[in-house]
Amino acid sequence: MKNTPNDKHKYKVTTVNSLELDLSLIDEDPDQPRTEFDPVTLQELADTIRLRGVKTPISVHPNPLQEGRFIINHGARRFRASKLALKKTIPAFIDTDYSKVDQVIENLQRDALTPREIADFIGYQYSKGFKNGEIAKMIGKSPAFISQHYLLLNLPKTIDTAFNAGRVNDVVIINSLVNAFKESPEIVIEWLNDSEQEITRNSVRFLREFIKTEARQTTRTNSDPDTKSPIKKKTIGPGHLSTENTEKLLTFLKQFYKDTGSQNDISVKALDSLTKTEQKNLTSLLDKLVNFAKA
């Protein structure tokens, strides 16, 4: 059955307690846990709002210090995008029962907080006297999650630099790097100083294996006074073989494939197509196997 022109008004839905607020009367919460906004996606949202408006109202509460003004509970991204879209008002609803914990939960559920923002919130709660398990219950995460993120507030300088530069954002990787740093800070510092080094779970795993191998060799050398000290390579760790070693190992592999028959030409081509970083990682693994065989 077709609706008459007047029937559409029967199905019009309005948001309960929603109102249009002037953007000039709204302030962002200075204690908002989310502090980073991607300018590209923010502009994309602004373009959408310019065409279709804001479909989901933001949440605000009255500013206790300035009558007639409001502070954002959640919706700062929609607020910023609306200003970029040159809108004058934004749909909002007033919620006076809202806390900083609610802000964190809201953003965590939408994966909208960076690891640093989560760490800052956890540090703030620690400063208020809350314990690990209590903070975990607040935001519905595990105690391990809390501990991993809290570690971000006190990173070794070299790891903190890589983190702040955006080279690594995975909290699991960062925790593993911190453990590697405790085992051998010199090797980790040299490893991170290579700007071409990819920091992934696998590369850090290889790094830690390399550190353990170095430790075993050192222990073996120290326990046998007649053993000559091995000559230390100028470069250390996965992805840090010298150019000379890299070329030797790759040349060996190519020759090996050629000697086993023409059907392996594709393997030679595959080796030639590797990037410098991939070549370093491959030769690092081969070099490690050689070291194990000599041990």
- pLDDT tens string 213-268: 888 877 766 665 555 444 344 444 444 444 455 555 566 565 555 555 544 455 55
Strand (E) or helix (H) holding 21: strand 18-22
At 79 the pLDDT is: 93
Is 174 in contact with 168 (CB distance < 8 Å)? yes
Q: Which of 52-56, 80-84, 102-106 has maximum average pLDDT?
A: 80-84
- 25 or 291, which is more confident? 25
Mean pLDDT value across the chain: 75
Distance CA(107)–CA(127), nearest Å, equals 21
The answer to whether residue 95 scores a pLDDT higher than 60 is yes
At 294 the pLDDT is: 47
111: helix, coil or strand?
A: coil
* Mean of pLDDT values over 1-30: 61
At 275 the pLDDT is: 67
Which tokens go with 17? 């307690």
Q: What pLDDT, in 10s, does the model give residues 109-163?
A: 565 678 888 888 899 889 989 999 898 888 778 888 899 899 999 899 999 999 8
Burial class (CB in 10 A: 0-12, 13-18, 19+), 197: buried
Q: What pLDDT, in 10s, does the model give residues 26-40?
A: 998 887 766 677 788
Q: Calculate what percentage of the chain has a pLDDT beyond 90.
A: 21
- 270 or 174, which is more confident? 174
284: helix, coil or strand?
A: helix
Bridge partners, residue 93, by sequence: 18, 59
- 283 or 37, which is more confident? 37
The answer to whether residue 43 scores a pLDDT higher than 50 is yes
- Of 95-99, 124-128, 193-197, 276-280, the one with minimum mean pLDDT is 276-280
The answer to whether residue 47 scores a pLDDT higher than 70 is yes
Burial class (CB in 10 A: 0-12, 13-18, 19+), 231: exposed
At 223 the pLDDT is: 61
Is 117 in contact with 35 (CB distance < 8 Å)? yes
At 85 the pLDDT is: 93
At 39 the pLDDT is: 86
From 3.90.1530.10, 3.10.20.30, 3.40.1390.20, 3.40.50.970, which CATH number describes the 15-99 domain?
3.90.1530.10
Find the DSSP H helices in the chain. 39-52, 76-84, 100-109, 115-127, 132-139, 143-150, 157-164, 171-183, 185-193, 201-223, 243-259, 265-272, 276-294
